[in-house]
Chains A and B, each alone.
Chain A
Amino acid sequence: MRVLVAKPGLDGHDRGAKVVVQALRDAGVEVIYTGLKRTPEEIVHEAVQEDVDVIGLSILSGAHLLLARRVLDGLRAQGAGDIKVVVGGIIPPRDVAELQQLGVRHVFPMATPLDDIVKAFKESL
C-alpha cells in the first residue's frame, strides 16, 4: 500500500500531517510526503506518478471543501478516480457529509485518535 500525504493550499500548519506520516510508517505503510503549499494539480500529478493507492489531504485553514473538490476532479480527469482520498484537519462536523458526497472516503476532524486514522487508511483500499 502506498500513500501520498499532502498539504494543499496556503496553510502552513504541518504538525498533523507529519504525525500521520510517522504513524503510517510505523504501521508499515509506504508514505510519500511532499511538503507545504502544493496545488491540487501538483498533488494529482504526484499521486499518479507515484502510483499511490490513497491520498491524505491535511487542511487546517478552512478551505477544505474547495481543495478536496479540486483534487477529486483532477483525479477523475486524469482517469485516476480509483485513487482514494481522505481528509483531515480542522473540519467542522457540518462539512463532513458534504466532503463524503464529493467522494472523500474518510474524514478525520479534530481529535480523531491516531490509531483510528491509521486504521481508516488501511481500510480505504
Chain B
Amino acid sequence: MRDARLHAGIPIKPVYGPEDLAGVDVERDIGTPGEYPFTRGIHKHMYRDRLWTMRQYIGFGTPSETNARFKYLMAHGQDALNVAFDLPTQLGLDSDDPRAEGEVGRVGMAIDTFADMEEAFAGIPLDRVSVSLTINSMAAPITAMFFAVAEQQGTSRDRVVTTPQNDILKEFVARGTWVYPVDPSLRLVGDLIEYSARHYPRSNPVSVCGYHIREAGCTTAQEMAYGLAIAAAYVDMMVRRGMDVDDFAPRVSFNFTCWGKIFEEVAKFRAGRRLYARMLRERFGAKNPKSCMFRSLIGGGGSSFVPEEPENNIVRGAYIALAAALSGAQTMALPTYDEAYTIPSAKAQLIALRTMQICAEESGATDTVDPLAGSYYVEAITAEMEKKIVAEMAEVERMGGIVEAVKAGAIQAEVARQAYLFERKLASGEIPKVGVNCYVGDQRAAADQEVELYSCDPKVSAAQVAKLEKIRRERDHGAVDASLARLRDAARGTENLMPPIMDAVRAYATLGEIARAMKDVFGEHKEPVKFA
C-alpha cells in the first residue's frame, strides 16, 4: 500500500469509519450552517440563496484598457471586479519615476492620480458593482481615490462596496510590496479600517490573506494559521485603538488559496471557520455573529499551474473550483491556464470564468449546503487540521507573536524552508504533477508553444507619463502643496491619515507625492533576510 499524506503532513488512512469521529461533538464542532461556529458555512442556505461572487483578477496597461477588459467580462456574466495594479502603483511610485522604468502597466494597470481612477471606472456603476482592490502599502491612497470616484459618480457612501486588500503583514512575509517599516505600515492598515467602518459601512477595509503565504511555499495548515494570526493582530490593534470589536469585525474578510487535495482544502476551510469564530467570540468578546464569520474569497492557486501542456491547467482549475465550492467560498477567482508564464489573455480569462459558471450551474455542487459534512474522512481530517493549525499558531506565539516574527524574518525563513522542501518533493516525484514528473511523454511539451503571449506595449508608459505631466501642469499647485504639508504633519502625530489623504487625492496630488510625504516621516522598511 502506498503512503499518503495531506500537504499539512497529516498521514491519511486508507479507510475511515465511525471510530474516527470519536472526538467530534456534532453540536459543538459541526453545528448548523449559518450559525456559530460556522463550520458548515456562514449562511443558512449558502448557494441556494446566492451563488458565490465571480471575481477574476484583472488589470493591465492604461486605466482605459483595463476598463475595456472589465466591461468584456461583465458582459459575460462576471458580477464583480478584482483590480490588479502595476508594481510602481503598488509601491507608490509615479509612472515617470526612474525606478518605474519597464514596469508601467506591466502586471496591472498604472494609477498616478485620481484622474486615472476616474478613467478606470468610467461607465461602471459603483453603487451596484463591488470592487476588490489588490493594494496593500498603498491601500490608503488608492482606496481614497476609489472613494473619490464613487463620490464623483454621486454614489451614496452606504452603497459603496469595495475591498482593498490592505493586509500589509502578509506583504512582509510574501509578495513583497512593502514600503514603510512594520509599525507605521500597521497604523495605515488601522486608519483605513477605522475610516471605512465610520464612513463606508458596506466596504470591507481589510482582506486578510493566507493566499500569498501559501503561494510562497508554506503548508495548508500554516496558511490558515498565519492568516488567523494576522487577522488576530489587526483585530487586537483596532480594539487597542478603542474600537468596539463589533463595530469593524463584521467587515473583515479573507483571501485564501485552494489547490491540490480537494478534501484537505475543504477540511482547511471548515476548521478555519470554526477557529476564527471561537477566537472572535472567546478572545475578543464579539457579540455580533457577523463578527465571527470567516467570509472568504477563495482564489485558486496559480502556483499549482505549470507551463508544460498548459491546457491541463484548465482541468486543474475545474477541480479547484469544485474544491472551493465544497469549501463554502463567498467569492471565487480562478487562475487562468496561461498564468504560469504570461499575463492572461482574454480567452484564458473567459475559460476561467466559464469554469466557475459550469461548476455553479451544471455540477450540482451548489444544490445543498456543505455536502461533505458527516463524511467520516472529511470530519476526521477537519478535526486533524484544526489541531495542526492550532499547533502552528502556538509556534508563531513562541516566536514572539506574528508581528515580532515578521519583523525578525522568522516566518519568512520558515516559508522559504517549506518552499524548498516542496520543490525537493516535486523533483523526487513524491508530489506528483502530471506531465511534469509523471506520465511524461517522449518529448516534454514545449512551454507556451500554442498560447498567446502578452506583450507590454511601450506606448502605455509614454501615454501614462504624458497624462501625468498634463495633470501636474494644470492642477492647483497651492492646494497640492498645502494638502501634502498637512499629510506630513498628520503623519508625525497620531490622527487618522485618511482625511488628509482624501484631500490630497481630490487636489490631484500624485500617488508618488502622497507616498513620499509619508516616507519623509515614516522612513523605509529594511528587509530581514534570513534562512532556516
Contacts and interface: CB of A to CB of B under 8 A. Distances in A.
B307 A62 contact: no
B448 A93 contact: yes
A111 B447 contact: yes
B328 interface: no
B102 A18 contact: no
A11 B340 CA distance: 16
A10 B93 CA distance: 10
A32 B472 CA distance: 42
A18 B416 contact: yes
B217 interface: yes
| Most chain A beta-carbon neighbours within 10 Å: one of B103, B215, B448 | B103
B106 A62 contact: yes
A111 B307 contact: yes
A73 interface: no
Given A12-B171, A19-B419, A111-B307, A92 B342 contact: yes
Chain A contact-residue range equals: 20 to 34
A114 B423 CA distance: 8
B344 interface: no
Interface in B275-306: 303, 306
B436 A111 contact: yes
B183 to A, nearest CB: 19
Contact of A63 (B106, B171, B308): B106
Interface string B138-159: 0000000000000000000000
A9 B104 CA distance: 12
A110 B340 contact: yes
Contacts of B101: 66
25 contacts: A10-B99, A11-B87, A12-B87, A12-B175, A12-B177, A12-B178, A19-B416, A21-B531, A23-B423, A33-B529, A37-B91, A37-B176, A39-B99, A61-B87, A61-B107, A62-B107, A62-B456, A63-B103, A66-B102, A90-B340, A90-B342, A92-B341, A94-B453, A109-B341, A110-B447
Contacts of B174: 15
A113 interface: yes
Interface in B386-442: 416-417, 419-420, 423-424, 427, 436
Contacts of A10: 87-88, 90-91, 93, 99-100, 103
Interface residues of B, number: 45
A111 B90 CA distance: 27
Contact of A113 (B91, B342, B427): B427
B1 interface: no
Contacts of B15: none
Contact of A92 (B87, B99, B215, B448): B448
A52 interface: no
Nearest to A7: B176
Given A13-B176, A66-B101, 12 more contacts: A14-B416, A15-B215, A19-B416, A19-B419, A61-B103, A90-B340, A90-B341, A93-B447, A110-B306, A110-B340, A114-B424, A114-B427
A51 interface: no
A19 B426 CA distance: 13
B217 A15 contact: yes
A67 B427 contact: no
B261 to A, nearest CB: 20
Central interface residue in A23, A37, A39, A93, by most chain B CB within 10 Å: A37
A15 B302 CA distance: 13
Nearest to A111: B307
A21 B419 CA distance: 11
A94 to B, nearest CB: 7
Task: Identify the interface centre among A9, A25, A63: most chain B CB within 10 Å of its CB.
Answer: A63
Contacts of A23: 420, 423
A110 B427 contact: no
B75 interface: no
B446 interface: yes
A62 B88 CA distance: 13
Interface string A94-118: 1000000000000001110111000
B306 A111 contact: yes
A54 to B, nearest CB: 19
Contacts of B303: 15
A81 interface: no
B122 interface: no
Contacts of B100: 10
B419 A15 contact: yes
A14 B419 CA distance: 10
Contacts of B481: none
B176 A36 contact: yes
Interface string B79-110: 00000000110110100000111110011000
A115 B87 CA distance: 31
